[in-house]
Structure 1
Amino acid sequence: MANLPQTLTVPPPRTYTRTDFAALRAFVQRIEPAAIARRYYDADDPDQAPHAATSEAMARYLGAMRDELVRLALLNGSSVLAEHLKTSIRRHGSARLTAVTLRMVEQAAQLAAATPSPAHGVGLWFRPLVAQRLTAEGISTLQELIDWCNRHGGSWWRSVPRIGPLRARTIVAWLRRHEATLGARVDADVDERELAPVAAGQGEGQGGGQGTVVVIGGPPEAPRLAPFERLAVPAELSGGNDTHRGTNRAGAFAFIRAPHDLAAIHAYLHRYRDRLATCRAYTRELERFVLWAVIVRGVAVSSATVEDCEAYKDFLARPAPAFSGPKRPRAGGRWRPFTGALSAGSQAYAVRVLRAAFAWLVDVRYLAGNPWAAVTDPVTVTREVAVQVERALPAQLWATVRRALETHCRAADVGHAADQERDDVRQWRIARAAILLMGDSGLRRAEAAAARREDLRLSPFSTGRAPVWALTVIGKRRRQRTVPVSAATVRALRVHWADRGRDFDAAGAGGPLVAPLVIPGTRAAQDRHGGGEASYTADALARLVRAAVRDLAATLARQGYLSPDDTVRLTGASAHAFRHTFGTGAVARDMPVDVVQQVLGHASLQTTSIYVRAGQQRMLEAAARYYAGDDDSDVTVNPA
């Protein structure tokens, strides 16, 4: 029988990721395999890198990878490289590579370079610390990373702790290089820089603020939007003093120098320059109305009629999709004035703000009349309890949270912890100090962010057994009050100050009680701090606390310390929940309600009484007695 030709099938070469190549370079430089595993692979995710489980497995994997690349280089490389490798193998039993020869081997062994796939985990392509930060936000695959970037736009990295703009641009650039193999692309504006601020005196006019001025307009289904501090209005809709004068402009001498509607609105908002929270809230409502009036209605603000105001009231209940979107930085191109339909209470608030603003414009004789005076507020439901005290943590859960915080803050105190671990512990210490300020003193998040060391002193009424400190803060409506600060909070603050390299007990010590350890390198952060002392905004401190609480909830649930209900409650807890926790806990420990009112800074005792719930409790107890006496088990009903 004739011999049949045989076909030899050569298995395809094994493919390796960028992380594998980086690890091999370290291996060639004689770095210990155990150190390579820690640096380049995630030991907590054995499914992604089982070869990094032990030092021996790491060494075997990298040795096999080196031999595989050398085999491919012998087949595909230059004759000079092949001869060099063969000589090294004959002399040492295996190829001894240097950094230069390894680079040549990698270039000749391109078949072994894996191509990224949308289903690949981020841990296959990014270093462990970066991969851990991404997976902590639910970004586990490359496809999920692309979707996240496209959903959040140029500021996508702000939602991922400790990524930063430089690393974010590197990640996006890598995704763009591999668009063809990934089969998915990153939107063009994802790595778009934020709008650059301009020097004082530039960009002023109808926009009235600093920044790149955008003339709003376009069709309602695809509008050109901008926040109030950056927007300009087309001349024909400006309500100016020339031929475009608004039909509702007053004919008498005006008390403000406002050549057009935006300038008049700026004059109104300027009244609240020392009440930042109020100014932000009023700005939001007025900018929404300006954008709607110009783009959707096509009228100047000073030409709005009652019919226009009624139409805008309906718009608040159902904002157009082009005007809505997730919360984004105001300097970014994806900012939208609405995040969705407003609740009935928010609609009523918007109407009241606009009515008050227009009334002031009438008072200063800029407008002839107030069209909002003829518009009724949207129908709302008066809530039984105005403050959502159900957000408060139960006493047992609050105690569990405090113990868990102490554990996290001590995690790197013993032994030789890595720099990254020490940084994480310092962040936990910031979160602990902030949470205790709110949970033990009932501070609002803005009050905790603004609290200063020079306003904190040991109370003369303290006892040796339970020292109490007194902190003076400025609360809502610029009201000053003094709140107690527990010894546990002061201990947490001392440790946090030590992390900042400052002595909490030094004579004349001053500065924010809670502050970031490092000012981010972003332009916005550098401009805000202006080279001065670092400090948190209320929103930034709330984000820090929220992230810490979510991490605590996941850790405690995984360890079996939380019930499912407590896990849900803690996961959804905001920074303000700890203020409510203080209120309910203080009342439960028989602190007088008027004292609780003073600590919390409530204007009315009725607001504080919600923590007591005496009226609701009496109602339910009376109903229970009524139902107990209404036992109809022995009653026979005659169907006739």
Structure 2
Amino acid sequence: DAMERYLRTMRDDLVTLALRHGSAALAEHLKASIKQHGSAKLTAVTLRMVEQASTLAAAVPSVAHPVHLWFRPLIARRLTGEGIATLGALIEYCNARGGSWWRSVPRIGALRAKALVAWLRRHERTLGVRLDVDVADIDTRELAPSSQAQAIVVIGGTSHEPRLAPFERLAVPTSLSGAIGAANGPTNGHSGSNRATSFSFIRAPHDLAAIHAYLHRYRDRPTTLRAYTRELERLVLWAVIVRGTPVSSMTVEDCEAYKDFLAKPAPSFVGPKQSRASGRWRPFAPEGLSADSQAYAVRVLRAAFAWLTEVRYLAGNPWSAVHDPVTITREVAVQVERALSPKLWTELRR
């Protein structure tokens, strides 16, 4: 009887420490068990969690602590399954991937990721490591697929610190939009100096709407649409942020400058592959564009501007005066010794 009382007291002390220092999920579980049974009923799993919580009674989170000391077993297993064994490794993982870090961890959804990030931020001082600002970003399409308006970003900033967004989330400042009657516009009443003055065949009040109209032609060709969108969004971002000009004001000199930019994009426009909803999305990959890809981009833009001129949105096509980037054509010698003789061809056909 004395031993039983001693063990019960020891268990109650452990439960008290777990309620005080354990995870919120463990505390709720223990409270519910106490309410139902009068005292906590401990399974093998909860006993281990209670024992671990008791060891943290006088402890604070450390970057060297294993994730299973602070998070529920299910979450800890999913993190360690991706090689995230410690709190420090989790912070490094988040900082490396930005707001969409959780997409790389199976069965860690947006809301659970938000809770983990909030916990890490509360303990930044004791951990001694800070999460990057954009790690708190959550893909709004994941939480509210019908609320795309929340994701719109007005691009701007400087070439060193740009505010970038992919085409589907893009908004351009009015003065650089090419809109009719925009501020600081030329005498023809447009902020785009190359806007046609005659009746336009498309209802496009500004450059983005005109580009959308062009891309709409390829709605039934998803591969082409994706490739053309990529090239046009790159141009819009460069024109507004780097060149400070509307797309509908681009001259031959602007086109030549952009051709040079394709060969060597600014570091702030380059980054590893990220979700298009992430604040870390960048229009160019770290490896840059090959000469063939640069030439392809120029051809896509020349064709797009030709169409915008044909439908009388633009007065002319500046890309028509721009040569394609030089590409290298490698000749491969025919391996005559591996050809088939006429007799063998006859046999093969037979």
Q: Could you state the TM-score of these two structures normalised by the residue count of structure 1?
A: 0.42
- Which of 102, 112, 128 aligns to 1:183? It is 128
Q: Does 1:358 align with 2:305?
A: yes
For the 8 Å contact 2:236–2:247, the answer to whether it is kept is yes
SS state at 1:313 partner = helix
Cα offset, 1:169, TM superposition? 2.5
SS state at 2:89 partner = helix
Match of 1:224 in 2: 163
CA distance in 2, matches of 1:363, 1:195: 38
Task: After superposition, give the CA deviation of every residue in 1:583-616 in whole Å (9 maximum; x if it has no partner).
Answer: xxxxxxxxxxxxxxxxxxxxxxxxxxxxxxx955
Match of 2:33 in 1: none
CA distance in 1, matches of 2:173, 2:118: 37
Cα offset, 1:126, TM superposition? 4.1
Cα 1:170–1:241, aligned 2, differ >3 Å: closer, same or farther? closer
Superposition pairs for residues 37-436 of structure 1, below 5 Å? Answer: 90-92=2-4, 94-97=6-9, 102-106=14-18, 107=20, 112-126=57-71, 129-195=74-140, 210-242=149-181, 243-340=189-286, 341-382=288-329
Cα offset, 1:151, TM superposition? 1.7
Task: After superposition, give the CA deviation of every residue in 1:253-306 in whole Å (9 maximum; x if it has no partner).
Answer: 221121221111111001011112211111111011011101110111111011
For the 8 Å contact 1:235–1:244, the answer to whether it is kept is no
Cα offset, 1:355, TM superposition? 0.7
Task: After superposition, give the CA deviation of every residue in 1:529-557 in whole Å (9 maximum; x if it has no partner).
Answer: xxxxxxxxxxxxxxxxxxxxxxxxxxxxx
Q: Which amino acid aligns with 1:248?
A: N
CA distance in 1, matches of 2:135, 2:338: 56
Cα 1:351–1:127, aligned 2, differ >3 Å: closer, same or farther? same
For the 8 Å contact 1:211–1:229, the answer to whether it is kept is no
Q: Which amino acid aligns with 1:188?
A: V
CA distance in 2, matches of 1:368, 1:119: 63
CA distance in 2, matches of 1:111, 1:267: 60
Cα offset, 1:244, TM superposition? 2.8
Q: Which protein has the larger Cα radius of gyration, Structure 1 or Structure 2?
A: 1
Q: Which amino acid aligns with 1:355?
A: R
Task: After superposition, give the CA deviation of every residue in 1:371-409 in whole Å (9 maximum; x if it has no partner).
Answer: 111111122234679xxxxxxxxxxxxxxxxxxxxxxxx
In structure 2, runs of 5+ residues without a counterpart are 22-53, 182-188, 341-350
CA distance in 2, matches of 1:268, 1:239: 16
Cα 1:251–1:177, aligned 2, differ >3 Å: closer, same or farther? closer
Cα 1:615–1:136, aligned 2, differ >3 Å: closer, same or farther? farther
Cα offset, 1:351, TM superposition? 0.9
For the 8 Å contact 2:110–2:138, the answer to whether it is kept is no
SS state at 1:269 partner = helix
Task: After superposition, give the CA deviation of every residue in 1:438-460 in whole Å (9 maximum; x if it has no partner).
Answer: xxxxxxxxxxxxxxxxxxxxxxx
Cα offset, 1:210, TM superposition? 5.0
Cα offset, 1:105, TM superposition? 4.8
Task: After superposition, give the CA deviation of every residue in 1:284-337 in whole Å (9 maximum; x if it has no partner).
Answer: 110110111011101111110111011111111211122222222222322222
CA distance in 1, matches of 2:132, 2:242: 27
For the 8 Å contact 1:150–1:186, the answer to whether it is kept is yes
Cα offset, 1:124, TM superposition? 4.4
For the 8 Å contact 1:213–1:232, the answer to whether it is kept is yes
CA distance in 1, matches of 2:204, 2:12: 70
Q: Which amino acid aligns with 2:85?
A: S
CA distance in 1, matches of 2:145, 2:84: 36
In structure 1, runs of 5+ residues without a counterpart are 1-87, 201-208, 386-613, 622-640
SS state at 2:195 partner = coil
SS state at 1:162 partner = coil
CA distance in 2, matches of 1:618, 1:123: 64
Identity of matched residues, %? 66
SS state at 1:331 partner = coil
For the 8 Å contact 2:139–2:278, the answer to whether it is kept is yes
CA distance in 1, matches of 2:227, 2:298: 13
CA RMSD of aligned residues (A): 3.1
CA distance in 2, matches of 1:139, 1:100: 33
For the 8 Å contact 1:249–1:367, the answer to whether it is kept is yes
Task: After superposition, give the CA deviation of every residue in 1:7-29 in whole Å (9 maximum; x if it has no partner).
Answer: xxxxxxxxxxxxxxxxxxxxxxx
Cα offset, 1:150, TM superposition? 1.3
SS state at 2:265 partner = coil
Cα offset, 1:98, TM superposition? 8.6
Q: Which amino acid aligns with 2:157?
A: G
For the 8 Å contact 2:82–2:105, the answer to whether it is kept is yes
Q: Which amino acid aligns with 1:94?
A: Y
For the 8 Å contact 2:114–2:138, the answer to whether it is kept is no
Superposition pairs for residues 433-444 of structure 1, below 5 Å? Answer: none
Q: Which amino acid aligns with 2:15?
A: R
Q: Could you state the TM-score of these two structures normalised by the residue count of structure 2?
A: 0.74
For the 8 Å contact 1:211–1:230, the answer to whether it is kept is no
CA distance in 2, matches of 1:198, 1:173: 23
Task: After superposition, give the CA deviation of every residue in 1:76-107 in whole Å (9 maximum; x if it has no partner).
Answer: xxxxxxxxxxxx7x353732159765433555
Cα 1:138–1:347, aligned 2, differ >3 Å: closer, same or farther? farther
Cα offset, 1:246, TM superposition? 1.9
For the 8 Å contact 2:17–2:57, the answer to whether it is kept is no
